[in-house]
Every structure is written in structure tokens, then in C-alpha cells.
Amino acid sequence: MDQASAMIYEPLTMNLQTKTLIVVAGPTAVGKTAAAIELAKHYNTVVVSADSRQFFREMGIGTAKPNADELAQVKHYFIDSHSITEPFSVGDFEKQGLALLDELFKTHDKVVLAGGSGLYIKAICEGFDELPTADPAIREKLNLELEEKGIAYLQEKLKLADPVYYNEVDLGNPQRIIRALEVFESSGKPISFYRQATVNKRPFNIIKLALNMPREALYNRINQRVDIMLQQGLLAEVKAMLPYRHLNALNTVGYTEIFDYMDGNTSLEKAIEMIKQNTRRFAKRQLTWFRKDQSFIWFDARDIDLIGQMVKVVEER
């Protein structure tokens, strides 16, 4: 290589090495959105959402999306980017997310990836092994069992087949449970086996930050958030979703409980109580997922100098 070529080549190599994805993760209601926005403002960059329900335009209140003021402060991606009528899997998110990051890193040295969906964060940071193709007859059988015996029956099957995934998955989402069971019944191996993939090396650095707070404080925040959602019009939002309730996107906490109320199966008071309880359980599963990953650096979300501490860790690494 001649001297002129070396002069051109070296800065490009150094530039590639400085591209960094800053992950901000943690349980629901812990304050990820606010922290991600402040970090993005500090680094004059953007936020990419890794929340498996905030993609959908039709689901606003029940998914606790950033509000208009927050969205105005920094540019967000994967918020209101898809319709619930469009199939959108974690594999789709990996492909589209990596393509987006490739573009964003052309103009930003750092990008913030924020969300509580561990599977979607893993997709961007590591990727997955290919899951085996399931026999359609197995899926049909499992769907019939769901219809005849209920979700609790499938939850117990999953607990026996794959206790690791059982402690991580959204147990209120029948499609995820069915997918895990069909992988097990097709291959004889649990879905968690396939998720112990060899990490796919990404062409950027990754720094993983996670927020938490004492359980009682977090649970109080969750309960308050649900009350606020109801004040904002959650009932009307769910009612508008009734024609689409069969879609996988709506098999989620905050929607299924209200559907139950609208079907006359429970009182509104009980439905609200169940949303709070199921959200607290979901937060517990999120924490289990993120704690398994030793590369996360944890922060107390109540720290008065939270952003300063997070920036310090980013700069050190």
C-alpha cells in the first residue's frame, strides 16, 4: 500500500471502530424512555426502539409510547412504523434494524437502542440460530389444545418442556407459547437450545446499560402507569381494536384483560387489577432475561446523576 492509500485507509478504519450502539434496557415503567432521550441528546444522536408493541401505529396508550413532547426532543425509529395488520416478526426486526443502523452510522458515531423486549435487543446485538421448521399438523394440534383446554394448559406443557424459556416468555402471549412448543415437539429440543446461538459479530461496538429500582418502587410505578393509561383513554383504544383482536400483536397485557371485560367475563375493576398484576409479572420476567446477560451494566433509575453515570461508563468503554 502506498503512502497516499494508507492516509485514506487509516481514518476510515478508525471511524468504523468508533461506531457504538448504546443499549438502554430494563423492566417496563422503570424510565428507559427518558434516559434514552437524555443520552441521545448528550451525544446528538437518535433513538431506535426495541419494544415489540410500540412498532404498531394502532396501539398507542396501552404500549406506553413516548409522548409527542418526547418524540420532538430526539428522532425515534420503530415507533408507529408498522400496522398491526402487517406481519412483523423478530426476524424482520433484525433485518430492518441492522439495515437502519448501517444508514444511521454513516452520520452518527453513536446510536441509542432502547426497550424492554429482550428478544428484540438480542436480535440486533447477536442474532439467532435458525429455528427448525415445524410440521403444520403440530401447530394445528396446539391451536386446538389452546381452544379446548385454555392457555394455562399450554403454559404447563411449556414449563415441563422448556423451563428456561418458560421463565422468560410473555406467558400471556399464546402465539409465543405455541411457537416454543412446536419447536420442541418437532425437534425434541427446547427453543432455548436454539437461542444459545453463536453470537454474530456486528460491525459496531455494543455497550449494554440496564435500569432497575427496588421492587416496591417499580411496582408502584407500574400501578400508577396503568391508572394513567385508563385516564388517557385505554378503554376506547381497546374497543377500537375489537375487529383485530385475533391478531398476534393484540395478545398482550393491557389489551387481553380489557377484551375479557368487554366480553362480559369479568368486571372492569377486576380487569384493571389483572392488568397491573400481569404487568408486574412481565417486569419480573424482563429482569430475569436481562440479568442472564453478564454484559449489562446496571444503574439505579432513581439516581439523581443517572445520565452522568451512564455517560461515564460509555466514555470508559
Residue ranges of the annotated binding site for substrate are: 28-33
C-alpha cell at 82: 408498522
Using alpha carbons only, give the angle 39, 55, 226 rounded to the nearest 5 degrees. 80
Which residue in 223, 224, 274 sits closest to 253, CA to CA? 274
Which residues are annotated binding-site positions for ATP?
26-33
Determine how many CB atoms are found less than 10 A away from the CB of residue 288. Answer: 14
Q: Which residues are annotated as a binding site?
A: 26-33
The answer to whether the CB of 275 falls within 8 A of the CB of 254 is yes
Closest by alpha carbon to 93, among 117, 70, 109? 117
Tell the burial category of 313 from Cβ atoms under 10 Å away from its Cβ (0-12, 13-18, 19+): middle
Q: What is the gyration radius of the CA atoms in the chain, in angstroms?
A: 21
Here the cell at position 75 is 428522532
Residue 40: Cβ-neighbour burial (10 angstroms; 0-12, 13-18, 19+):
buried
| Start-end of H helices in the chain | 3-17, 32-42, 68-73, 90-104, 118-125, 136-149, 151-161, 163-166, 174-187, 191-194, 215-232, 234-240, 256-262, 268-292, 306-316
Task: Identify whether the C-beta of residue 301 lies closer than 8 Å to the C-beta of residue 30.
Answer: yes
Contact criterion met (CB below 8 Å) for 183 and 177: no
Q: Do the beta carbons of residue 45 and residue 75 sit within 8 Å? A: no
For residue 249, what is the DSSP state?
G
